[in-house]
Structure 1
């Protein structure tokens, strides 16, 4: 079971990670105030400090109220499985797109989701995956002339 306590701590951890990343990133910059105004790291540093502070506050409040928060069930195992079945392939799409490009990742994502989650036949899944990918390529690359993330396959085919 996923309870509100777990969500509160998970969200606090995520925000803390983002804030810590901001602190590390802005520490390489001058985050003070100069004669001509704020330096490059001024606002990122302060936003990161606020994120870390608020994430810590949320985590502390969750721990203090853990008994009450554990009684609030957010998702049963079946519901959680369905959410993860939808969310994990999207995360996979983002990760695969970094190495293979957006179009190949999109085709693989649609193929996997339509075939295994939608339980459609291979020819349907393959047709939709390739069709949507080709139409997306034509719209963005040809019609709008907006290049999207390319991978080695598109570059090999001379599309990158």
Structure 2
């Protein structure tokens, strides 16, 4: 049984985050070298700025990693498991929303996400949640597609409607 006050330690989270950011900075460095970081005939090559950002990211992350690794003893918990479940209840649907946009389009995905959050986290009934999701999608469509003439990712529904 997990105690309500139990959770990952600050030290473990700092080490994990430092490793993740070191990897991201390393990827930026790797790709910047592929693009070129020198000086071309028309100025700095396209990888120059990302190279320095990646280098700064690796340096800062390495410093954090060393500091966290040298810490003796526990620094307390980062968050309790119930708190992390609450974060996951928002994070996971948002990841699914972003993943659904290329397939369903932004309007359908947004309508479903708004309805889901209203129903699941807001406690609203299905009718009100679905109506709010549809209203959000329609308002977003009118504002971006009609008024601002900005095309957003569309899915099969918009294609079937001729947009």
Q: TM-score range by the shorter chain?
A: 0.7 to 0.9
Q: How does 1:31-110 map to 2 (within 5 A)?
A: 31-34=37-40, 37-65=43-71, 67=73, 70-110=74-114
Cα deviation code 1:9-67 (max 9, x no counterpart): 23213322321221232122121234654222222222212212221221121111152
Question: How many residues align structurally?
Answer: 157
Quote the offset at 1:6 in angstroms.
2.9
Q: TM-score, normalised by structure 2?
A: 0.84
**Structure 1 match to 2:134:** 130
**Structure 1 match to 2:145:** 141
Corresponding position: 1:16 with 2:1: no
Distance 1:157 1:75, change over 3 A: same
The unaligned stretches of length 5 or more in structure 2 are: 1-6
The whole-number CA distance in structure 1 between the counterparts of 2:29 and 2:131 is: 46
Q: TM-score, normalised by structure 1?
A: 0.85
Provide the alpha-carbon RMSD of the alignment. 1.9
Quote the offset at 1:123 in angstroms.
0.8
Equivalent in 136, 152, 156 of residue 152 of structure 1:
156
Quote the offset at 1:106 in angstroms.
0.6
Corresponding position: 1:120 with 2:124: yes
**Structure 1 match to 2:33:** 27
The whole-number CA distance in structure 2 between the counterparts of 1:106 and 1:65 is: 44
The unaligned stretches of length 5 or more in structure 1 are: none
Quote the offset at 1:134 in angstroms.
0.8
